[in-house]
């Protein structure tokens, strides 16, 4: 199959490189000339484990290439995937479909022969209908079918998620589009992944319903964690205990500082807005959004509580700035709210992250940064662990304790064992476990 992938962000790049890996010929297109130049020189503009080697293999095999202009490539394509960003629109929280609309019009101008246009970006219910109308306005003679095929990969585990997914979901009422999509994914479905084919609107909704459900699951365990702190219970065991019931499942029950990232915050908001617009409000999702927002800043209060309510003038180290480990993505990271709240309380923040420093410096310019975790904690009264990078798990807590001026270890992701913390003489404030004071 000849595939054009519009958008060389996380989803577009990973999907493009994976499609090339399973034998298709793929051109990834992005209007960002700098990004395409980097890719053409063998660089990868994002941090995603394994993506550099995968892309290099595709390029070497002659199956993966990069371009800024789709005019030369769309006419040859069997399938054009739209994988552009759909950020939350400023002001109302609806998904912003500007880039999707631009891509659809541009594709329409260049299609030739039967072409399937697939929205891979996360798009609200009814977007496929709209794309179809845009193409028809631009080129009434175009022989196209519009399908939905949401992507479920996670940053940090993207390649494995794509090549070995729990399921593939796609939707269209066009039989030719269905046949093309089945062909595209055959190497993956042959290895056992189920392909669920539904109506287009249903497929669009599956994506939002899945992300909102996962966001609810995290928010639920986070609220259980807060209760654990009050009643001297341990959320790690509660999560394990409930997760053993296969109806609940063990995954996505790690309590922490609240969910962030480029997906859950914007998708919960967009689903909430769609539901309100259709006079079918989703109160649970609305509640999830506000509980999670409040939680991020509340994490700073844990540091203050350890010092009797005031951290004014103290140096506080913050380890982990990205929204989770194994990514360089800072979008809606809980760390941003936590660092701001610590600063508002008068603390001097010194931060470190294995991959997110460049973006962090841009987003939070007014704090100090260190080159290593040990440098960040030097002289700090407290150390706040915001993400669960493997590098932090490997820290020698005795060395950490020696470098710090105070004993506070605010382990928001519960990455250390109780014994390890005690042996180093540190005082640990975890999430969802009895608090030291």
Q: Which residues are marked as active site?
A: 263
Distance (Å, rounded) from C-alpha 101 to C-alpha 94?
15
Binding-site size for ligand UGA (CB under 6 A) equals 21
Q: Is 324 within any annotated ligand binding site?
A: yes
> What is the smallest separation between the CB atom of 26 and ligand UGA, expressed in angstroms?
19
- Which two three-digit tokens encode residue 200? 């287009």
DSSP secondary structure code for residue 42 in this structure: T
| 417: Cβ contacts below 8 Å, ≥ 6 apart | none
Q: Which stretch binds ligand UGA (CB under 6 A): 20-28, 249-257, 311-319, 375-383?
A: 249-257
Residue 148: its H or E element: strand 144-148
> What is the smallest separation between the CB atom of 314 and ligand UGA, expressed in angstroms?
26
Q: Which stretch binds ligand UGA (CB under 6 A): 17-25, 30-38, 111-119, 255-263?
A: 255-263
Residue 120 as a binder of ligand UGA (CB under 6 A): the answer is no
Q: Is 341 within any annotated ligand binding site?
A: no
Q: The tokens 């003038």 sit on which residue?
A: 313
Taking CB under 6 A as the criterion, the residue among 106, 155, 328, 353 binding ligand UGA is 155
> What is the smallest separation between the CB atom of 410 and ligand UGA, expressed in angstroms?
16
Quote the crossing angle between the two packed helices 264-277 and 200-231, to the nearest 10°. Answer: 120
- Which two three-digit tokens encode residue 426? 């540190």
Q: Is 65 within any annotated ligand binding site?
A: no
Taking CB under 6 A as the criterion, the residue among 25, 115, 122, 172 binding ligand UGA is 122
Say how many CA atoms lie within 13 Å of 334 toward its Cβ. Answer: 28
| 236: Cβ contacts below 8 Å, ≥ 6 apart | 255, 414, 432, 433
The residue number with the shortest CB distance to ligand UGA is: 263
Length of the chain, in residues: 437
Say how many CA atoms lie within 13 Å of 55 toward its Cβ. Answer: 27
- Interface pattern 68-107 for ligand UGA (x via CB under 6 A): ----------------------------------------
Residue 253 as a binder of ligand UGA (CB under 6 A): the answer is yes
Please, which residues bridge with residue 5 across strands? 28, 81
Strand residues in 370-407 grouped as ranges (E): 382-385
Q: Which residues 206-235 are close enough to bind ligand UGA by CB under 6 A?
A: 211, 214, 218
- Interface pattern 366-385 for ligand UGA (x via CB under 6 A): --------------------
Q: Is 423 within any annotated ligand binding site?
A: no
Residue 259 as a binder of ligand UGA (CB under 6 A): the answer is yes
Residue 14 as a binder of ligand UGA (CB under 6 A): the answer is no
Q: Which long-range contacts (CB under 8 A, 24 or more apart) does 189-193 make?
A: 191/164, 193/164, 193/165, 193/166, 193/167, 193/168
Q: Annotated binding site for NAD(+), which residues?
A: 30, 35, 86, 122, 155, 266, 331
Q: Which residues bind ligand UGA (CB under 6 A)?
A: 122, 151-155, 211, 214, 218, 252-254, 256, 259-261, 263-264, 267, 323-324
């Amino acid at each position: 199959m000849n595939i054009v992938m519009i958008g060389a962000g996380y989803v577009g790049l990973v999907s493009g490189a994976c499609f090339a890996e399973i034998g298709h010929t793929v051109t990834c297109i992005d209007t960002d000339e700098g990004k395409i130049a980097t890719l053409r020189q063998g660089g990868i503009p994002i941090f995603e484990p394994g993506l550099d080697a995968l892309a290099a293999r595709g390029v070497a095999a002659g199956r993966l290439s990069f371009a800024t202009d789709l005019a030369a490539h769309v006419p040859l394509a069997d399938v054009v995937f739209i994988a552009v960003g759909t950020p939350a629109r400023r002001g109302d929280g609806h998904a912003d479909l500007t880039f999707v609309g631009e891509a659809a019009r541009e594709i329409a101008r260049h299609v030739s022969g039967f072409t399937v246009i697939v929205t891979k970006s996360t798009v609200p219910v009814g977007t496929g209908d709209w794309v179809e109308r845009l193409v028809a306005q631009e080129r009434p003679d175009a022989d196209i079918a519009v399908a939905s095929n949401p992507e479920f990969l996670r940053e940090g585990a993207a390649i494995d998620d794509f090549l070995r997914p729990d399921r593939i979901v796609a939707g269209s009422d066009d039989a030719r589009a269905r046949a093309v999509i089945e062909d595209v994914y055959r190497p993956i479905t042959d290895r056992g992944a189920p392909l669920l084919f539904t109506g287009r609107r249903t497929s669009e909704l599956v994506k939002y319903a899945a992300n909102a459900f996962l966001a609810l699951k995290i928010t639920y365990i986070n609220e259980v964690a807060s209760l654990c702190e009050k009643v001297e219970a341990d959320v790690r065991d509660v999560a394990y205990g409930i997760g053993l019931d296969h109806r609940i499942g063990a995954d996505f029950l790690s309590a922490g500082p609240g969910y962030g990232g480029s997906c859950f915050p914007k998708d919960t908001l967009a689903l909430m807005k769609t539901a309100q617009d259709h006079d079918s409000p989703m109160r649970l999702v609305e509640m999830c959004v506000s509980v999670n927002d409040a939680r991020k800043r509340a994490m700073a209060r844990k540091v203050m509580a350890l010092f009797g309510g005031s951290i004014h003038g103290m140096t506080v180290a913050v380890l982990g700035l990205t929204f989770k480990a194994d990514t360089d993505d800072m979008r809606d990271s809980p760390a941003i709210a936590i660092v701001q709240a610590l600063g508002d309380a008068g603390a001097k923040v010194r931060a470190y992250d294995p991959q997110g420093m460049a973006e962090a410096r841009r987003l939070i310019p007014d704090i100090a940064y260190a080159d290593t975790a040990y440098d960040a904690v030097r002289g700090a009264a407290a150390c706040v662990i915001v993400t669960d990078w493997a590098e932090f798990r490997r820290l020698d807590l005795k060395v950490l304790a020696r470098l710090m001026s105070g004993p506070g270890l605010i382990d928001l992701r519960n990455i250390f064992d109780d014994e390890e913390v005690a042996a180093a003489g540190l005082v640990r404030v975890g999430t969802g476990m009895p608090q030291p004071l």
